């Protein structure tokens, strides 16, 4: 009998433990969630499971302005807002943001008939910031513009827009300097270049000298100690003579044999920029795990040495390739991941964003277009938004020849700005000032999108 009593007691304790374990998500302090200061009231209380705050999917999606679809047979939840989409499956730790596969810390599950999804994941996927206060079990979500560092490239026909918009930029990087074969600097200063400095000073915008160099020129300089030091001295002299706040090194096409020499060059140059109170930016090509070229750039070293690194995430398709998207969303995401996983810190990374298009004649020759020129080519005609690349394009016929235009618009720019926020990057770099249309046409009200998504950090 004593054995039977002990068995019954042990069985009761085991059942109680199992019940507690299966329901421990309920035995928690009250979790409070605020969106832009407004308290959320959920149809099922928020719970924490394995470190993730879980909330009813419909409540959070709709509060963030997304339309909700639920496929009962497949148990798939989808939230869409404009061109944005977030897809999750009950019981599955794989989820998709705009078609890109992501991993969840906790899979969605059902409680009292409510499908619970990870709050942080949904919020960040839709362009919001999330802050968790463990002392009060409070989640604060902000949809205010992301405060970040904004660089604009200053090149051809940039002056009118810079004069109007200088206040929108932390820094402008001028495209006026090229490396000569002997390590001297070729100047291509436009008439009235001094006015750019005056505008920058008035708006508090920093200026950096963009130093351009192609491998055919710079490879032999980097490998020669005397020529390399001469180039470094000339770069510093140029920056100081023209009253710059920093330099932006853009050496393109470097190969594996240039890798160590380029790193040494940056190390030596950084010591000189620090000594002269200048910032060092480095522009790097877009690399992914599938890139077999661009082997001359040691991302870990560049990330350590530089003050900022510009990821040139554009020209996936360009004037020398067949027709296609200039910066497909999935590819930009891969470039960001490659950079962060290979040594470039997020708080130094600037996401390059293009504001132009290409008009391919047939499938070979292409002409570069500003966005205003794209608008003129469209002439008010509807165009297609490619779901695979999340990029717009337009096909037309001229003189019996088919033309294809790929370009950026408000939707594609919006998605890329939100990538910078989602990965908590230092900021963005716009190519270029002067091509960012001031249009208010639907689909091209780009400055409205920029001001909605980001604001320059003070």
Residue 10 lies in a domain: no
If DSSP states are collapsed to H, E and C, what string results for 66-85?
CEEEEECCCCEEEEEECCEE
Residue 1 lies in a domain: no
The confidence score (pLDDT) of residue 364 equals 79
The confidence score (pLDDT) of residue 28 equals 66
Residues of the chain with pLDDT under 50: 1-24, 26
Residue 13 lies in a domain: no
What distance lies between CA 143 and its chain's CA centroid?
17
The confidence score (pLDDT) of residue 29 equals 78
* 187 φ, ψ (degrees, to nearest 5): -95, 135
Domain match, 114 and 159 both: no
What is the spatial distance between Cα 174 and Cα 211, in angstroms, rounded to a whole number? 9
Domain match, 137 and 281 both: no
**Is the torsion defined by CA of 387, 393, 395, 401 positive or negative?**
negative
**Which range of residues forms the domain containing residue 74?**
26-142
Please tell me the pTM assigned to this model: 0.94
Closest C-alpha among 283, 203, 291, 278 to residue 243: 278
Residue 11 lies in a domain: no
What is the spatial distance between Cα 341 and Cα 35, in angstroms, rounded to a whole number? 31
Contact 450, 438 (CB under 8 A): no
What is the spatial distance between Cα 353 and Cα 329, in angstroms, rounded to a whole number? 11
Domain match, 171 and 239 both: yes
Domain match, 166 and 132 both: no
Residue 21 lies in a domain: no
The confidence score (pLDDT) of residue 206 equals 98
Domain match, 163 and 197 both: yes
Q: Residue 427, SS3?
A: strand
Which domain CATH number covers 133? 3.30.457.10
Domain match, 167 and 132 both: no
Beta carbons within 8 Å of 115's beta carbon, 6+ residues apart: 56, 57, 58, 70, 77, 90, 108, 109
The confidence score (pLDDT) of residue 419 equals 98
Q: How many domains does the chain have?
A: 2
What is the spatial distance between Cα 39 and Cα 23, in angstroms, rounded to a whole number? 26
The confidence score (pLDDT) of residue 365 equals 86
User: Which tokens hold the place of 279?
Assistant: 């910032």
> What single DSSP character describes residue 256?
G
CA torsion 323-327-332-338 (nearest 10°) is 60
């Amino acid at each position: 009998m004593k054995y039977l009593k002990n068995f019954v007691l042990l069985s009761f304790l085991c059942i109680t433990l199992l019940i507690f374990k299966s329901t421990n998500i309920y035995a928690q302090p009250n979790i409070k969630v605020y969106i832009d200061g407004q308290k959320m009231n959920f149809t099922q209380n928020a719970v924490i499971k394995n470190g993730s705050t879980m909330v009813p999917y419909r409540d959070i999606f709709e509060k963030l302005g997304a339309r909700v679809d639920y496929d009962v047979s497949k148990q798939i939840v989808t939230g869409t807002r404009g061109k944005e989409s977030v897809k999750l499956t009950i019981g599955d730790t794989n989820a998709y943001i705009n078609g890109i596969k992501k991993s969840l810390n906790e899979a969605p599950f059902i409680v009292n008939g409510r499908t619970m999804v990870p709050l942080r994941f949904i919020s960040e996927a839709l362009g919001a910031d999330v802050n968790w206060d463990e002392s009060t079990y409070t989640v604060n979500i902000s949809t205010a513009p992301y405060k970040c560092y904004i660089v604009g490239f200053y090149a051809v026909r940039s002056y009118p827009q810079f004069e109007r918009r200088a206040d929108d930029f932390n820094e402008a990087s001028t495209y006026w300097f090229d490396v000569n074969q002997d390590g001297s600097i070729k100047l291509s200063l436009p008439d009235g270049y001094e006015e750019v400095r005056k505008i920058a000073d008035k708006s508090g915008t920093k200026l950096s000298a963009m130093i351009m160099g192609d491998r055919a020129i710079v490879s032999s300089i980097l490998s020669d100690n005397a020529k390399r030091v001469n180039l470094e001295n000339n770069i510093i002299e140029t920056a100081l003579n023209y009253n710059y706040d920093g330099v932006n090194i853009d050496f393109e096409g470097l190969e594996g044999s240039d890798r160590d020499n380029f790193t040494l060059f940056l190390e030596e140059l950084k010591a000189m920029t620090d000594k002269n109170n200048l910032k060092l930016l480095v522009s790097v090509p877009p690399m992914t795990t599938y890139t077999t070229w661009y082997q001359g750039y040691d991302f870990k070293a560049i990330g350590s040495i530089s003050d900022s690194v510009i990821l040139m995430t554009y020209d996936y398709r360009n004037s020398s390739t067949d027709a296609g998207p200039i910066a497909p969303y999935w590819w930009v995401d891969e470039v960001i991941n490659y950079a962060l996983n290979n040594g470039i810190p997020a708080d130094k990374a600037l996401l390059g964003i293009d504001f132009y298009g290409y008009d391919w004649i047939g499938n070979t020759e292409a002409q570069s277009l500003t966005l205003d020129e794209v608008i003129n080519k469209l002439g008010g005609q509807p165009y297609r938004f490619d779901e695979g690349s999340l990029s717009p394009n337009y096909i037309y016929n001229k003189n019996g020849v088919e033309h294809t235009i790929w370009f950026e618009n408000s939707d594609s720019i919006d998605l890329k700005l939100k990538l910078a926020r989602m990965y908590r990057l230092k900021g963005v770099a716009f190519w270029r000032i002067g091509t960012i249309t001031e249009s208010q046409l639907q689909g091209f009200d780009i400055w409205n999108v920029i001001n909605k998504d980001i604001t320059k950090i003070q």
